[in-house]
Amino acid sequence: MKPLDGVTVVDFSQFLAGPYASLRLLDLGARVIKVENPDRGDLCRHHYVSDTRVEGESTLFHAINRGKESITLDLKTEAGRAAARTLVQAADVVIQNFRPGVIERLGLGYEAAAQLRPGLVYGSISGYGETGDWAGMPGQDLLAQARSGLMWLSGNADQGPVPVGLPIADIAAGACLAQGLLAALYRQARTGAGTHVQTSLLEALIDLQFEFLTTWMSNGRTPPQRMTEGSAHGYLAAPYGVYSARTGHLALAMTPMPALADVLGQPDLAALDGFRDREAIRARLQEIFAARDAAYWEARLAPQGIWCARVRGWDDMLAQGGPEVQDMLKPGGTLAQVAAPIRLDGRRPDPRPRGPALDEHGAALAREMGFAPPA
């Protein structure tokens, strides 16, 4: 259950992307030491996504930092930097997400860290890479979405840009970094060589769009076309999309029009072209689906091989999604928990109960590592 048991991660990152990567390593058994500044610590401690607080801090902080150890170091002081260097010497993995150039000025960039700890695996996340016109821009999720083109893929034709309603750039970049760090740890175990793993919010969002971007670059840069209503994929043929029913909504995935026309008893629909006649097909289907509830259509169409699903909320997902959903989502108590999305030999890593209090482990870590706790 703990394939990374014995791996120590020193995490200088804050907010979401870097801490998400270290969380994934923690779930696989790594020890994660979170280095925070003494002035209120990680910004995420005070970034409230609701009025729900746990031990005076954001639920978001606890979700992304559960099970980690916290030590505060003032990296603007020599004592703080000296303590940080000691931590690096004890690390297998270091993670940082400072703006480009900042970590180097602190004397803790990859080259300096690799001198302190030969064979070190070092992970860096930036907003837009280390060079180029955008390198110095704030690496924030919504801004990265805005610069990536992603906002033009959701929503309907008459809408403006529609952002993804969760920090998709942060989560995706953290997942990309974790993947690279795991590969580098494998290399480290085999050869002893270190690696600098780098990614950015922008690179992660490009990767999420690889299907669309490959198509766009290969077809004369013809952009995807959003539907007037229920748009779900700018390149796929009708009937792909979301339709309003008498009550609720019905999602239709890749379905041959002749098959759908036959099930619905509408033979003339089979003659329409899924690409050329997208809007006409959509209008006809919308009229049909509006006559009945979404639950009716799902019960009627799905058993006949039509790929469809009633649009559900979180309550329905939790109640009906099956044992794996129940195993991941653990409500109740002061702080609900979402466990890791992977299983090892049939078992899911148990989520830790909460994130650390600021500097909760500072004194113990200083004793273990052999340096005086910075004042």
Catalytic (active-site) positions = 233
**Torsion (CA) 69, 71, 76, 81 in degrees, nearest 10:** -80
| Cβ partners under 8 Å of residue 375, min gap 6 | 79
CA–CA separation, 288 vs 297, rounded Å? 10
Q: For the chain, list the strands marked E by DSSP.
A: 8-11, 31-36, 53-54, 57-58, 69-72, 93-96, 121-126, 195-200, 241-244, 249-252, 308-310, 329-330, 337-338
DSSP 290-358: TTS-HHHHHHHHGGGT--EEE---HHHHHHHS-HHHHHHEE--SSS-EE--S--BTTBPPPPPS-PPPT
**What is the token pair recorded at 145?**
């979405």
**What is the token pair recorded at 220?**
């004369």
CB atoms within 10 A of CB 63: 22
CB 348 within 8 A of CB 328: yes
CA–CA separation, 4 vs 27, rounded Å? 9
3 state SS of 249: strand
Angle between helices 141-148 and 168-191 (to 10 degrees): 90
